[in-house]
Amino acid sequence: MKRPDLLSRRSFLRSAAAIAAAAAVPPWAHATAPLRAPTLSMTAGPFYPDELPLDRDNDLLHYAQHAGEPLGIPLNLTGRVVDARNRALAGVRVEIWQCDANGRYHHVGDSNDQDEAFQGYGEFTTTRDGEYAFRTIRPVAYYGRTPHIHFRLSGQGLEGLTTQMFVAGEPMNEDDGIYNRIRDRAARDALTVKLAADDSGRAKLAGRFDIVVVADGRFETG
């Protein structure tokens, strides 16, 4: 029988060798990795907020200007912002906006039957690992549009990006003119997010939407 301490030492040496091998990869090797296609730029739509709410954090279900809970299915939405070489981008301002469960935006041009308890707009600055997070509602359809959430990314050294996130499996996706205008299947799939049950206790659903942007390198952290 092999001694436990000998097995442990051999496991440690194998791990150390693997780490050393990874560290020995020259920097130029990362530069030759296949580039990721940037996330497709899309229209901002007619209802970017005409006036940003005083409460504009990343929890759209808790609106400081209104008591009560908003209608809709709570959704934890997370993701990572990276450059074409899959390097994390920190300090990127991520904005989202979407209609409420009644299909209405917080906008003067869409003021009927608004759910005043829903913040409708949120902001988050990406972490060192390029991560962002929002607590919102599952998007709903309106005016013939399939469910979607609008995104806008900005920051120094970053080519600004406005895009939309769609929900996988939505029947209305096939009838949405904007969604079907995307002829590149890979680009369309990159905008389409699968929602699943959330186990955090803070929402019913969870989804992840990673975003690839063009940057000049000043955001690179990993």
Residue-wise pLDDT for 78-113, tens only, equals 999 999 999 999 999 999 999 999 999 988 777 778
pLDDT at 18 over 50: no
In a domain, 110, yes or no: yes
CB atoms within 10 A of CB 74: 18
Q: Residue 86: give the domain boundaries.
A: 35-212
Q: Which of 25-39, 52-66, 187-201 has the lowest mean pLDDT?
A: 25-39
- Residues 48, 120: Cα–Cα separation, whole Å: 10
**Nearest 5 degrees, angle CA 49-CA 52-CA 57?**
115
Tally the domains of the chain: 1
pLDDT at 23 over 70: no
- 40 or 215: which leads in pLDDT: 40
pLDDT at 209 over 60: yes
pLDDT at 175 over 60: yes
CATH number, domain with residue 152? 2.60.130.10
Give residue-wise pLDDT tens across range 109-123: 777 788 989 999 999
Distances (CA, A) of 47 to 108, 163, 189: 9, 14, 24
Give the per-residue pLDDT at 109: 76
In a domain, 176, yes or no: yes
In a domain, 25, yes or no: no
In a domain, 4, yes or no: no
Contact 207, 182 (CB under 8 A): no
Contact 33, 85 (CB under 8 A): yes
Give the per-residue pLDDT at 219: 53
Residue 172 CA neighbour count, 13 Å, CB half: 14
In a domain, 53, yes or no: yes
Give the per-residue pLDDT at 113: 86
- Residues 82, 130: Cα–Cα separation, whole Å: 7
Model confidence, pTM: 0.82
In a domain, 1, yes or no: no
Distances (CA, A) of 36 to 85, 90, 201, 222: 6, 18, 34, 15
In a domain, 149, yes or no: yes
- 12 or 67: which leads in pLDDT: 67
Residue 33 pLDDT level (bands cut at 50, 70, 90): low
In a domain, 192, yes or no: yes
Distances (CA, A) of 221 to 13, 30, 131, 210: 29, 14, 12, 16
Give residue-wise pLDDT tens across range 149-159: 999 999 988 88
